[in-house]
Amino acid sequence: MLAVARRSVAYIVSIVLLCTGWGLLGMATFDYLASQFFDEIPGSPQMQIWFGLLGMAITSYLTFFGRNQFVQEVLPSLATRLPGYNIAHVCCSALGLWVKRFYSILYQTADVIFCIGIPILLLTAMVGWWLIEEISGPMLLFYMGLIGVIAIAGIYNNPVRMLALGYFNGYWIIDDNKLSYPFEAPMRVDETIELMLAQLGGALWPMMLIVGLLFYFCYWLMTYRHSAAEDTEQSYIANFDRLFKQSLVTKLLVMAIFLLGSVAAFVLVSAMLDLINIHCFFAALAIFWMDALWRAEFDLEPALCGDCRYLLSGNWRP
């Protein structure tokens, strides 16, 4: 009796979370699209960002973390009983294949542009330092260090790769002097950092570090859990699930990481709402979802970043 009651409560909670998560994502997406296509609807970027983040967190938890029986078993079985299920299933499958194919092309394109573009960015930055008086030596060194960090992170992480390309090319498109933008990039980055420091002061760097670690931890959980679920050897799933069945200290440590990172992310996003590009934000949400779903499959395809990872690993040495 107690087990049945617990299962019923779990189903109710799953239904509430599922409706809440997709509802928040739906409202954020609708408000974004409506504000872009209809001038009469102003839209609220702040609402879009908060609803998008909360909806993404809830739906990602239900989809990628743990073994949610309602989402993985009960809900699909209920959907098969609905009228028109076969037609909807065929349409959704075709749409999924099209999106997957599109993302595969985007994945390969971003891989090539990223690996070729990083050396070009460093070269144009040095030329800009030589030609433009406003670009100082420390400004150039900071920019090159930032590019180096992005390069290393992008080699191992596809969302970092795509978002870096989107950020640079997006600002390049809207810049008035398109031909000179790659040479002025160190100065533009310095201006952006100054705006961020004006909002948060010296707390900017610790918060970015904490949020970055939380993002990497959650992203690793999403991709590893999904790839393990598709693996024929269930030992990978057992090893993953064992992480959350260890001692109380381990559970408290994992909880502390989420709580501390969530608080830092809340403060960071609150202070930088006016600096977040709403187009890049929704692109990031889409990239995280698609990468979490198909990263394990795409990583097996030939790619320049894969060659870079092989070189950095040192396995090529005899």
Q: How far apart are CA 208 and CA 20, in angstroms?
A: 28
Q: Is the Cβ–Cβ distance between 110 and 167 less than 8 Å?
A: no
Given a cut of 60, whether residue 139 has pLDDT beyond it is yes
Mean pLDDT of 183-209: 74
Long-range contacts formed by 311-318: CB under 8 A, 24+ apart: 312/155
For 200-252, give the DSSP string.
Answer: HGGGHHHHHHHHHHHHHHHHHHHHHHHHHHHSS-THHHHHHHHGGGS-HHHHH
Q: How far apart are CA 58 and CA 24, in angstroms?
A: 9
Look at residue 234 and tell me whether its pLDDT is greater than 60.
Answer: no
In the numeric block, which tokens belong to residue 109?
């394109």
Q: How far is CA 244 from CA 90, 174, 216, 228, 298, in A?
A: 37, 46, 18, 15, 28
CA distance 6 to 131: 69
Rounded Cα–Cα distance for residues 285 and 292 (Å):
11
DSSP state of 317: -
Distance separating alpha carbons of residues 245 and 216, to the nearest angstrom: 21
3 state SS of 272: coil
Q: What does pTM read for this prediction?
A: 0.69
Average pLDDT over residues 130-140: 84
Give the mean model confidence (pLDDT) for residues 111-118: 87
Mean pLDDT on 168-197: 74
Cα–Cα distance measured from residue 37 to residue 40, given in angstroms and rounded to the nearest whole number: 9
Q: What does the angle CA 203 – CA 163 – CA 200 come to, to the nearest 5 degrees?
A: 15
User: Any idea of the CA torsion for 58, 42, 279, 20, to the nearest 10 degrees?
Assistant: 10
Residue corresponding to tokens 């891989």: 111
Q: Work out the pLDDT band at 170, boundaries 50, 70, 90.
A: low
The maximal CA–CA distance of the chain, rounded, in angstroms, is 78
Q: Give residue 20's pLDDT.
A: 86
Distance between CA 80 and CA 178 in Å, rounded?
53
Residues 219, 157: contact at Cβ < 8 Å? yes
Whether 267 has a pLDDT exceeding 70, the answer reads yes
Q: What is the pLDDT of residue 232?
A: 43
Question: What are the tens digits of pLDDT across the range 5-56?
Answer: 666 776 677 778 778 888 888 888 888 888 877 776 777 888 888 888 888 8
Residue 230 has pLDDT above 60, yes or no: no
pLDDT of amino acid 192 = 76
Strands (E), the chain: none
DSSP letter assigned to residue 315: T
Question: What is the token pair recorded at 197?
Answer: 């420091």
The model's pLDDT over 43-78, given as tens digits with 9 standing for 90+, comes to: 788 888 888 888 888 877 776 655 555 565 666 666
Looking at residue 42, what is its pLDDT?
A: 76
The residue ranking higher by pLDDT, 306 or 104, is: 104
